[in-house]
Amino acid sequence: MTTPIPAPIPKAELHVHIEGTLEPEHAFALAARNGIRLLRFRTPEDLRAAYVFDDLQTFLDLYYELMVVLRTEQDFEELADAYLARAAAQGVRYAEIFFDPQAHTARGVPIGTVMAGLGRALAAAPARHGVTARLIMCFLRDESAASALETFESARPWFGEPIIGVGLDSAELGNPPGKFREVFGLAQEAGLRRVAHAGEEAPPEYIWEALDVLGVERIDHGNSCLSDLRLVDRLVDEQVPLTVCPVSNVLLQNEDSLYEHPLPILLDAGLLVTVNSDDPAFFGGYVGDVFDAVRNEPELRVGLTELRRLAANSFKAAFLSDEERQAYLKEVKNYRFA
Ligand code: HPA
Ligand code: ZN
């Protein structure tokens, strides 16, 4: 008789870049299908061996380089479907997925191609994987404000479904949130939700600016808030969620090690912290693996109570209706650890 593998705790994932879920084997398969040669790498193993990063920029260089293999609707559909299958197996019931349209349109792939592929995978996901997923369109902050505005306008047909919000990602330092004031204002007028990466590499001023100038409802990463206690008070008072990515932080050398990660300090401060994968194919694990990693690092003091709190926080921080949220929170409450 085989012992059944216990189901992982139900959770939402709120910080995952779909392009960061492209596994090396899949990248090579897409390259072959599309007649593209990945010149610097001979095999998926070669590619994986290059996944050693000094900082955010060295990661981003490879992340953008690998995207050349994504060309057709089918490519984007397969990419999202593969993520949703893996996430579902790790207990993800709901996901708000980032995507970077400018990284594709700049290569001549129309936004309609990206949306058709991602849209099909998301539409099939509840029946196929038991996961509901929505999209957050990110602007590349190292591109111009004009490019963000153009991208925003080109995506209007998909506002509401499947695009529920806008975000800000890519190289943070030197690209403060205020640069994107106008496009975030338009997003608010269009009824979209607003988030931004802030405080991953940059100081707390970037988090203030994301809140006060862009009006964001959630901060992606946010680690640097801890050097500004007035900011921590504000984030606690307003229960602004932080989508923290502990494994990403260590691999991009924004934190020295997992055991020194500030996760327990953020939790003790009363912040609405969630735990996420960021770019799981590059950082060696999906969100369930990140939950396991923090659980298995004694210095982080994540016991079963904290794991349940993190799972509950993921639904509290999500852009769900009250009814949806209550249903998911009930699943978390009723979950029994093996
Ligand atoms: N930070 C900023 N931009 C990104 C990231 C990240 O961790 N991953 C993909 N784009
Ligand atoms: Zn990110």
- In tens digits, the chain (338 residues) has pLDDT values of 667 777 999 999 999 999 999 999 999 999 999 999 998 999 999 999 999 999 999 999 999 999 999 999 999 999 999 999 999 999 999 999 999 999 999 999 999 999 999 999 999 999 999 999 999 999 999 999 999 999 999 999 999 999 999 999 999 999 999 999 999 999 999 999 999 999 999 999 999 999 999 999 999 999 999 999 999 999 999 999 999 999 999 999 999 999 999 999 999 999 999 999 999 999 999 999 999 999 999 999 999 999 999 999 999 999 999 999 999 999 999 999 98
pLDDT, residue 3, reads 72
Tokens of 221: 């990463």
Residue 110 lies in a domain: yes
Residue 252 CA, closest ligand 1 atom number: 7
Active-site position among 200, 201, 209, 255 = 200
Strands of the sheet containing 242-244, edge to edge, are: 11-13, 92-99, 132-140, 163-169, 193-198, 218-221, 242-244, 273-275
> What CATH number does the domain containing 111 carry?
3.20.20.140
Distance in Å, CA 61 to ligand 2 centroid = 14
Residue 200 annotated among the catalytic residues of the structure: yes
Residue 68 lies in a domain: yes
pLDDT for residue 99: 99
Atom 4 (ligand 1): residue with closest C-alpha? Answer: 170
Distance CA 189, CA 166 (A): 12
pLDDT attached to residue 295: 97
Task: Tell me whether residue 327 is in a domain.
Answer: no
Residue 305 maps to a domain? yes
Instruction: Return the SS3 of 292.
Output: helix
In a domain, 338, yes or no: no
* Domain, as residue range, for 48: 11-320
Residue with tokens 């912290």: 273
Pocket around ligand 1 at a 6 A CB cut-off: 17, 20, 56, 63, 169-170, 197, 200, 248, 278-279
Q: Which of 10, 14, 22, 17 is nearest to 130 (CA)?
A: 10
Ligand 1 atom nearest the C-alpha of 19 is 9
Kindly identify the ligand whose nearest atom is closest to the C-alpha of 66: 1
| pLDDT value at residue 5 | 75
Q: Is residue 334 part of a domain?
A: no
| Tokens of residue 26, six digits | 């899949």
Q: Which residues pair with 166 in a beta bridge?
A: 137, 194
Ligand 1 pocket test, pick from 141, 197, 252 with the greatest ligand atom count within 8 Å of Cβ, gives 197
Percentages of the chain per state (helix, strand, coil), in multiples of 5 = 55, 15, 35
For residue 176, give the nearest of 148, 151, 213 by alpha carbon.
213
Place of tokens 């210095």: 299
Asked if the bond preceding 204 is cis, omega within 30° of 0, the reply is no
Task: At 60, list the tokens.
Answer: 């981003």
Best mutation site among 19, 54, 59, 277 for ligand 1, i.e. most ligand atoms within 8 A of its Cβ?
A: 59
Would 332 be classed as within a structural domain? no
Tell me the CA distances in angstroms from 114 to 110, 144, 278, 310, one per residue in order.
7, 21, 20, 32
Q: In angstroms, rounded to a whole number, what is the distance separating the alpha carbons of residues 317 and 241?
A: 6
- Pull the structure tokens for residue 206: 């970037």
Length of the chain (residues): 338
End-to-end CA distance of the chain: 18
Would you say 8 and 91 are in contact if contact means Cβ atoms under 8 Å apart? yes
Q: Is residue 325 part of a domain?
A: no
Query: For the chain, what is the domain count?
Result: 1
